[in-house]
Structure formats: structure tokens, C-alpha cells
Amino acid sequence: MQIDWLTDQIPSDQPVITVVIDATRESEQGSQTVQTRWRDLQRGLSADGDIPPSLLDLLDEAMRVPTHVSGEHGRVLVATPDEIVIDRVLAAPPQSDMATRGICAATLARIGDETVRYLVAEIDRSGADLTLQENVAMDFVPSNGNTTTVEGSHDVLHKVRRAGLATRRLQSRAEDSWERNAELVAEELDSVVARRRPELLILTGDVRAVSLVRGRLGKEAQSIATVVEGGSRAEGVNAEAFEKKIAHALETFRHQRREQVADQFRQEEGRDGTACRGLDDVMAALQRGQVAELLLTEEAASLPSELARHQVWVGDSAMQLARSRQDLADAGDDEPRELTADLALGAAGAQQRAGYTIVDPAQISLPDGVGALLRWRDDSTPGQNVYSLSGDTGRT
């Protein structure tokens, strides 16, 4: 999935630090335990004389703020000398704490996988309250929810159960009011979806009103809409039960989002299209700016990543990648530097605004735990039926 809302904030000409830490508090003294873990990481960062003290101060200040999240969880921070770009709680703690210079592909994949941008519409027969949730999964920072109220101008809302001509007119006027108000709500939803680009539209509230609104949505809003029962504009809603239903809807969406990317990869690979697999082939595609979506298996997207076992070489630009120093030297780069593959793929993918998706290795076999969907393909693109740099003998 696209995470340019994050990668666009990561400068290519300034130091960037990524911290991933177990933020679980096992007791009342748990915050102190987390601080001890952070100080161990901080000492390692301080030993790198190239990291500005202002950046370390920003991280230290952020780490002093507890998450107040119960149970096991992780925390990831990405910082530049000027700001904390991201401060997010992760659903599971890392296998080991890490602090590194640069942005990791696995970190980007985890953040993207646990983030859904969604719009909740609480609807009744007079209008709706629309709330856009920017970045919500297990975020302990208060959400940037933006609520808009839509009130219809038609106010005959209740039918009368008596017989007679006048009663039938009132019933007809009530139904007309519901429909006109539903049109106004649908128009506003279409506008918000077009402007703010949520991935998911959740409709809830009065059953009849929700049905009327959904039937009047435009194509774009209709394609991302789902109904979740239990919400309402009125007081007295069981908020805890509704939040659990929202959480279930988001989890279902995340699973479907993964599956859509996996299906596209299988289709493209099956027709020798815009897909490649294996570290060397993916690096070659990144060099050419071809990568639209990086696919990582669960192992490659673990924190720390299995990709960290591979060392690669990077030139002046993050998109200059090679397995050996000599390859870059032959290309005219006199001072390449050695990085783990996780860091190299993170920087190169961010520079070309690639998306990141975690896939099930049981469904897609990816050598080295990595593959890519490409923006285009030509005769020199590594792939199934052309020469492959990875030496994968399983290809035809």
C-alpha cells in the first residue's frame, strides 16, 4: 500500500534515525524498564559522531512520553534533525530493540500495514456526522480526527400511523425528506472521499438512512463503503462495542488489502508482466526507478528484518545499488558505502515513492523474502523469462 504520506517527509540529504523498541510495561515500573532499553540504544547512537545532538534530543524527549497502551506492543520512531516524522505503537514488540541510521524497508512495511485512513459516517434521517481518521491502528497519539456535520434542510422526519388522506401526505413528505437529506449526505461523502482520499468508508447509524445514503453514493465512494452496525449520532451508544466492530472492520480491510496486492503479483508474474522476485532482481528494478510496490514476506518484514543478513553497496544516490563495491566503482562511483539490504531497500523505495506490502510466504514464494510490482517492463527488466541476476534456477 502507498505510504507517501510518510516517505515524502523523509529527506534524502539529512540524517534519519529509526528506533524500534519493545514498549511493553510489565508492571507499574514498566516505564522505567522501557527507559532503560532506550538508554542502551541511545548510547549506541551517541557513539556515531555524525548524528546531530539535536536529533538525539528529539528522540530522548519523545521517548519520555509513555504510550499508556496495555499488553505487549512495540513502538517505532523515525526522526530527522528537525522533527519526529513518525511516532507509532506497533501491534507486536520487535524481536530485539534496534536503533539505526536510515529508514528500514521492514519498518515502512509494518507502519503501512497497521495504518488505515478511513472515514466514519454516523447517519440518521436528518443528516450525518463525518469523521476522518488519519492514521489509526494502535496509535497512542490522539488521532487527527476531523469531524464535519451535515444537516438536511428537510424536516418532516416522522411518519404518522393514523389513517386518512392527510396522514398519507405526511408519510409521503417524511419519506421525501429522508431521501433529500440522504442526497445531501451522499454528496458530502462523495466530496470528502474525492478530496481526502480515505481507503475505507464506514457507514453506521439508522438502518433506513444508511441504506438511502449508500444507494446514492458515487462510484468512488461506493467502491470503498462498508456498513458497520452499532454507531449513532444520538447519545446512549455502546462505544466500547462499536469500537470493537470498527477494529474488526479495519482488520478485515488490512487482510483484503494484502490479498489484492498478492493477487496482482501472481497475475503479473503468471503472464511475465510487471513483477519480479529476489533481492538482485528487485535491486535492479529499484536502480531504474521501476518499483511501484515492494513485497516483503513476514520474515523480511520482521523487526529486525531477515534482509539485514544481506550486505549491499549504495552509491551517492539511494537508487545506486549493487551487490559489490566494484560494480559501483565500474559505474563511476568512487565512494560507495556498505549497508544492510533492509536499509538500502528502505531508502531506495522511499526515494521513488514505492508502496510496501507484507505477504504470506505460504501463498507467494519470494527468494530472499522480497519481490516487487513494477511501474513498467521492458526487455532489460529482470524477470521470469529473461536473464536473472539472482540466479534463481527455478525460473524458466
Answer with the residue of higher pLDDT: 188 or 148: 188
pLDDT of 8 reads 85
Rounded to whole angstroms, the Cα distance separating 118 from 116 reads 6
Half-sphere exposure of 211 (CA within 13 A, CB side): 4
Residue 380 forms part of a structural domain: no
Residue 243 forms part of a structural domain: yes
Instruction: Identify which of 48, 25, 113, 155 has the alpha carbon closest to the alpha carbon of residue 293.
Output: 113
- For residue 242, give the CATH number of its domain: 3.30.420.60
Answer with the residue of higher pLDDT: 194 or 379: 194
Instruction: Find the mean pLDDT for residues 164-193.
Output: 77
Rounded to whole angstroms, the Cα distance separating 149 from 156 reads 19
Residue 110 forms part of a structural domain: no
Q: What is the pLDDT of residues 232-283, one digit of tens each?
A: 988 888 989 999 999 999 999 999 999 999 999 999 988 878 999 999 999 9
Residue 391 forms part of a structural domain: no
Give percent of the chain above pLDDT 70: 86
Which sign does the torsion angle of CA 216, 218, 219, 225 carry? negative
State whether 129 and 160 are in the same domain. yes
Rounded to whole angstroms, the Cα distance separating 38 from 35 reads 5
State whether 210 and 164 are in the same domain. yes
Q: What is the pLDDT of residues 352-384, one digit of tens each?
A: 999 999 999 988 999 999 999 999 988 777 665
Residue 4 forms part of a structural domain: no
Residue 74 forms part of a structural domain: yes
Instruction: Identify which of 109, 114, 73, 143 has the alpha carbon closest to the alpha carbon of residue 255.
Output: 114
Phi/psi at 114 (5° precision): -95, 10
State whether 179 and 290 are in the same domain. no
Q: Which of 48, 67, 101 is the last residue of a domain?
A: 101
Assign 3-state DSSP to the chain and report helix, strand, coil percentages, each to 5: 40, 20, 40
Answer with the residue of higher pLDDT: 214 or 391: 214
| Residues 6+ positions from 208 with CB-CB distance below 8 Å | 125, 178
CB 276 within 8 A of CB 374: yes
State whether 220 and 189 are in the same domain. yes
State whether 218 and 314 are in the same domain. no
**Does 141 have pLDDT greater than 50?**
no
Rounded to whole angstroms, the Cα distance separating 115 from 136 reads 6
Q: Which of 101, 125, 146 is the last residue of a domain?
A: 101
CB 370 within 8 A of CB 308: no
The model's pTM is 0.83
- For residue 370, give the CATH number of its domain: 3.30.1330.30
CB 98 within 8 A of CB 41: yes
Q: What is the pLDDT of residues 38-90, one digit of tens each?
A: 999 999 998 877 888 889 999 999 999 988 888 899 999 999 998 998 899 99
State whether 143 and 238 are in the same domain. yes
Grid cell, residue 1, equals: 500500500
| Residues 6+ positions from 243 with CB-CB distance below 8 Å | none
Rounded to whole angstroms, the Cα distance separating 321 from 258 reads 27
CB 75 within 8 A of CB 303: no
pLDDT of 321 reads 93
Domain range holding 68? 17-101
State whether 135 and 186 are in the same domain. yes
pLDDT of 383 reads 62
Residue 263 forms part of a structural domain: no
Crossing angle for the helix pair 341-351 and 279-287, to the nearest 10 degrees: 30
Answer with the residue of higher pLDDT: 1 or 114: 114
Query: Pseudo-torsion of CA 105, 111, 117, 120, nearest 10°?
Result: 160
**Does 163 have pLDDT greater than 80?**
no
State whether 126 and 249 are in the same domain. yes
Q: Using 50, 70 and 90 to split pLDDT, how confident is the model at 133?
A: confident
End-to-end CA distance of the chain: 30
Residue 228 forms part of a structural domain: yes
Question: Under DSSP, is residue 211 helix (H, G, I), strand (E, B) or coil?
Answer: helix
User: Structurally, how many domains does the chain consist of?
Assistant: 3
Rounded to whole angstroms, the Cα distance separating 271 from 379 reads 14
pLDDT of 392 reads 41
Query: Pseudo-torsion of CA 337, 343, 349, 353, nearest 10°?
Result: -110
Residue 344: count of CB within 10 angstroms of its CB: 29
| Averaged pLDDT of the chain | 86
Grid cell, residue 84, equals: 519526529
**Does 161 have pLDDT greater than 80?**
no
| Residues 6+ positions from 104 with CB-CB distance below 8 Å | 18, 20, 303, 305, 342, 343, 346
